[in-house]
Structure 1
């Protein structure tokens, strides 16, 4: 978890803001790299503002230790859904989020964790960043998952990072309808 503290410091230096929404840290920064075409004909270009999602690994580790890895994965997905609802509500009231065009993230667990959440999968285009992300995320999986080392060895060819993307429009359409307004 010491690495988490170093990562948090580095993240704050390269972003406009870092906010916590449930199990997610949301880092607002400019998109770097090639343009990405999303569903519905929306594009995210280099220089556009994005919200980079990071799971709070301390919370994930605590869940895994307390309820086991399988139950922790289900709970993490539910908590991520709630975080996305919170982010959709904050989009209108938080100036840093008003300019965000899309939410992004990098993950090895794209097969299981994104089911039903509304993210699109995109291959990583930068070979260097893909290489770095592969080794970093595999190391993280070995540390956070009780059977992580065995899992990484058994599934090495399947554990390739993918970029997740959800446009602001898709986020609002999907998660605003799930929010039930309070009545006085």
Structure 2
């Protein structure tokens, strides 16, 4: 019998959040640091796997330090319950942009992030949620990792989204995971320019 027919949605969500608490602890063991910026968690770790060529011509090689981005799913779930799926998605996108601004500012000032060469992440929501944030999109090269990521992220969507099951079935061909990538230089340049356009904040910072 399907798990979602056996338990109530709330029960499944509670179980998932309990699993995420365990996963958070595991993440701390395998990383240099874990920091929170608004709705994002930044996991500083070494890149593993094949080298990545960025659109800027820079390369990320195995062993290089990267900042792996994760959405705080507890906040996402709370917003969805309080505001409904559509309003929560809009607010999450705004909060994500704010988090990127905070991360860029931290890259300017935090010595603990001086060695981080790029931001990375894996997402299904590359068609909407991250629009305009400046990320490059790359296919997942490892077949096994791509299959695992597809299953895991679709399951996450089913758990967190009020209509996750129906949405997954309707848009199954579009829900393909992609790697997000943004070099340190691209991050700082983009969000310095945004700060200048707003007339303050990071505009005053000169590296």
TM-score category of the 2 structures, normalised to the smaller one: over 0.9
What residue in structure 2 maps to residue 84 of structure 1? 100
What residue in structure 2 maps to residue 39 of structure 1? 55
What residue in structure 1 maps to residue 155 of structure 2? 139
Structure 2: distance between partners of 1:181 and 1:80: 17
Q: Within the alignment, does 1:14 sit opposite 2:53 as a pair? A: no
Task: Check conservation: 1:123, 1:163, Cα contact below 8 A.
Answer: yes
Farther-moved stretch of structure 1 (65-74 vs 25-34)? 65-74
**For residues 57-68 of structure 1, what are the structure 2 equivalents within 5 Å?**
57-68=73-84
Q: Within the alignment, does 1:130 sit opposite 2:146 as a pair? A: yes
Structure 1: distance between partners of 2:38 and 2:192: 17
CA offset at residue 158 of structure 1?
A: 1.3
Task: Check conservation: 1:16, 1:96, Cα contact below 8 A.
Answer: no
What residue in structure 2 maps to residue 116 of structure 1? 132
CA offset at residue 169 of structure 1?
A: 0.6
Task: Check conservation: 1:28, 1:96, Cα contact below 8 A.
Answer: no
| TM-score with structure 2 setting the length | 0.85
| TM-score with structure 1 setting the length | 0.95
Where has structure 1 moved over 6 Å in runs of 4 or more?
Answer: none
Of residues 163, 181, 184, the one that matches 2:201 is 181
What residue in structure 2 maps to residue 160 of structure 1? 176
CA offset at residue 40 of structure 1?
A: 1.6
Could you list the runs of 5+ residues in structure 1 that have no partner in the other structure?
none
Deviations 1:140-180 (A, max 9, x none): 10010000011111111211110000111110011122231
User: Aligned residue pairs: how many?
Assistant: 183
Assess, with a 3 A threshold, how the Cα gap between structure 1 residues 181 and 152 changes in structure 2: closer, same or farther: closer
Could you list the runs of 5+ residues in structure 2 that have no partner in the other structure?
1-16
CA offset at residue 41 of structure 1?
A: 0.8
What residue in structure 2 maps to residue 50 of structure 1? 66
